[in-house]
Structure 1
């Protein structure tokens, strides 16, 4: 085991979102955990759940929230969390812990893998929230940093106000990044001012879009929690931006022009994860789309096909379309997951679900069946 590295210091910490009163009579307190052989999903996308996949020690590698996970070119699974004992955990596919490092991201939230010249790099997003010893939520400006896989800092992207992009009253609490084929970096300011900010590969500002002040409200973003580059149509690459409070994805061109909206009623979706023709996403809460009430301690994950039609909701109710319109989706009556925050798809089509606010649990493996 290599030693952990303390290479960046800042004062931000964990993103903490308030959940509202549960409704609909679902038993979502998770008193009874799902057994290891639980099967979830629908149609051709069903999975066996393994909540004991990660072989870690709570003493040596304590966790707070498992926010995101990616697979590197060597097949290793890299997880980012917000515990400054070990922000980054690196596993093999059996769940064995290979390495851990990082003490400088108390708001560790977004993790993106980029490749340059055959080498892997990480973009780590610290959203700028942290929780004090008394349990109260604190907050300072977030940041995005680029590192190699050992944690060596390449460069950082700070507050857009420092380069005159944001006004004095606009917050910056970034949640996610995405990297285009040409190396451009897109930063989602999902807990701040809800812009998508585009930089070149060196971290130099190009433009920003989204936010709250567009003449056409459809172009606005509300809790721009995630951003992803969609290359499923190689001739027409797009950006899939999460507007989580609106329970939808919004599609933009790579230069920020709005194209369309994909409604996900009842689902607080997180970032879109592309794998071949499918789109995967964690669902952080269920919501009653009719009343607007959100179910506390809920969540699952969702899978869309190449036409952005939902084909499976592991841990949720089956997708139903009426006249081509997706009906609202809930967490399954027997809960399996809690606050699905991110999905990693490995090279064998197995899934790894990172959960926020789920009793300090490690990622859950879902083996395709």
Structure 2
């Protein structure tokens, strides 16, 4: 790792092939100078920095930037699914400090757990990746706990191996959350839509969710994300994405249903909590007229205070009528293509990872 870091440091100034930044068609020229692009609403507005990430499209090519979190040192750690690199580490200026990993071709979920002052990564490989001819290939999904430089401490493999899943069922994990006692919550978001709970050692405890439950509140449709909501310090809850239902669902730490929050026309990804706020990428929405498919660019970002949507960077302003949230839509100029994850720094700036976005690096939204 030190050799690679030194090489990057020595060659950064000489790197000519920077990652291409697509033109979204929303920057306005004023007096022959680009005017600042501002996204969002109310107290949550942001200046867009499309060229934040300083990376080489030759040395560190990207396919999809899936998720990013900030570690205890203020570094931004991202997971993607390019066969040449799975994990990229940036400082807040966008400088690439390190990159590693080829063992996670379906790299999708990244969660940082600080244990005794040391950061560890929980990586989710969804079991799906694109080959060189553009075909989706299925392999075995996995969850790994690693050090920040990639040393694997243990894996959680297919639940079939411990009798939790029947033979033949796919296991395609998309996300991990770590509970207050170290319990590991795995979202099988591209597989069976269960939340699987393990001890901090990786020992299976229980599962819930899936489909066809007698109490439909327990059903999850595309359980894409999972996180712990600590906003009530005396009552932390597990929050699960049910993306095809355009909603988040809250459960107790042992899997008892609490509530559902429906977000019309927002197929949300993982919930990200910071202070009173919930942030989420919106991977898809439907336009006011016509229909789109999953490859079309229809995403944005949504921000909530409590259970109330207060801003939609890249989307239309939230609209409540008689207390009911109305549908939100992507802006016509598509400043954000597919919102897949949001990382929040201590200054409340946002870093947006996008899926299916023309190999775009993460973009920064600077709070104004």
What TM-score do you get using the length of structure 2 for normalisation?
0.90
Name the residue aligned to 1:301: 301
Name the residue aligned to 1:108: 107
Measured in 1, the distance between the counterparts of 2:288 and 2:158 equals 35
Determine if the alignment matches structure 1 residue 251 to structure 2 residue 250.
Answer: yes
Measured in 2, the distance between the counterparts of 1:293 and 1:200 equals 41
Measured in 2, the distance between the counterparts of 1:275 and 1:322 equals 27
Based on CA coordinates, which of the two structures has the bigger radius of gyration?
2
Give the gaps of 5 or more residues in structure 2.
6-21, 28-33
With over 3 angstroms needed to count, the CA separation of the structure-2 counterparts of 1:235 and 1:69, relative to structure 1, is: same
With over 3 angstroms needed to count, the CA separation of the structure-2 counterparts of 1:326 and 1:364, relative to structure 1, is: same
With over 3 angstroms needed to count, the CA separation of the structure-2 counterparts of 1:90 and 1:230, relative to structure 1, is: same
Measured in 2, the distance between the counterparts of 1:32 and 1:301 equals 16
Name the residue aligned to 1:161: 160
Name the residue aligned to 1:348: 347
With over 3 angstroms needed to count, the CA separation of the structure-2 counterparts of 1:80 and 1:230, relative to structure 1, is: same
Name the residue aligned to 1:137: 136
Please provide the CA RMSD for this pair.
1.8
> Structure 1 residue 169: deviation in Å?
3.5
Deviations 1:169-201 (A, max 9, x none): 421100000001100000000000000000010
Which aligned pairs between 1:134-283 and structure 2 lie closer than 5 A?
Answer: 134-283=133-282
Measured in 2, the distance between the counterparts of 1:164 and 1:4 equals 42
Measured in 2, the distance between the counterparts of 1:368 and 1:220 equals 36
> Structure 1 residue 126: deviation in Å?
0.2
Measured in 2, the distance between the counterparts of 1:129 and 1:193 equals 14
Measured in 2, the distance between the counterparts of 1:146 and 1:289 equals 43
With over 3 angstroms needed to count, the CA separation of the structure-2 counterparts of 1:292 and 1:242, relative to structure 1, is: farther
- Counterpart contact for 1:247–1:269, Cα < 8 Å: yes
The size of the alignment, in residue pairs, is 344
With over 3 angstroms needed to count, the CA separation of the structure-2 counterparts of 1:288 and 1:90, relative to structure 1, is: same
With over 3 angstroms needed to count, the CA separation of the structure-2 counterparts of 1:361 and 1:292, relative to structure 1, is: closer
> Structure 1 residue 131: deviation in Å?
1.8
Measured in 1, the distance between the counterparts of 2:54 and 2:340 equals 20
Tell me which of the two structures has the higher relative contact order, counting C-alpha pairs closer than 8 angstroms and 6 or more residues apart: 1
Measured in 1, the distance between the counterparts of 2:186 and 2:45 equals 32
> Structure 1 residue 347: deviation in Å?
1.3
- Counterpart contact for 2:24–2:335, Cα < 8 Å: no
- Counterpart contact for 1:288–1:328, Cα < 8 Å: no
With over 3 angstroms needed to count, the CA separation of the structure-2 counterparts of 1:186 and 1:214, relative to structure 1, is: same
Measured in 1, the distance between the counterparts of 2:250 and 2:311 equals 21
> Structure 1 residue 2: deviation in Å?
3.4
Deviations 1:291-324 (A, max 9, x none): 8755721111000112x11000000000011121
Measured in 2, the distance between the counterparts of 1:254 and 1:33 equals 45
Deviations 1:200-252 (A, max 9, x none): 10111000000002101221000000000000011111111000011111111
Measured in 1, the distance between the counterparts of 2:276 and 2:143 equals 29
> Structure 1 residue 327: deviation in Å?
0.6
- Counterpart contact for 2:52–2:94, Cα < 8 Å: yes
Measured in 1, the distance between the counterparts of 2:277 and 2:97 equals 29
Deviations 1:118-149 (A, max 9, x none): 10000000000022222211112200000011
Measured in 2, the distance between the counterparts of 1:193 and 1:290 equals 32
Q: Moved runs in structure 1, 4+ residues, more than 4 A?
A: 288-295
Partner SS, residue 161 of structure 1? helix
- Counterpart contact for 2:287–2:330, Cα < 8 Å: no
Name the residue aligned to 2:16: none
> Structure 1 residue 263: deviation in Å?
0.3
- Counterpart contact for 1:143–1:173, Cα < 8 Å: yes
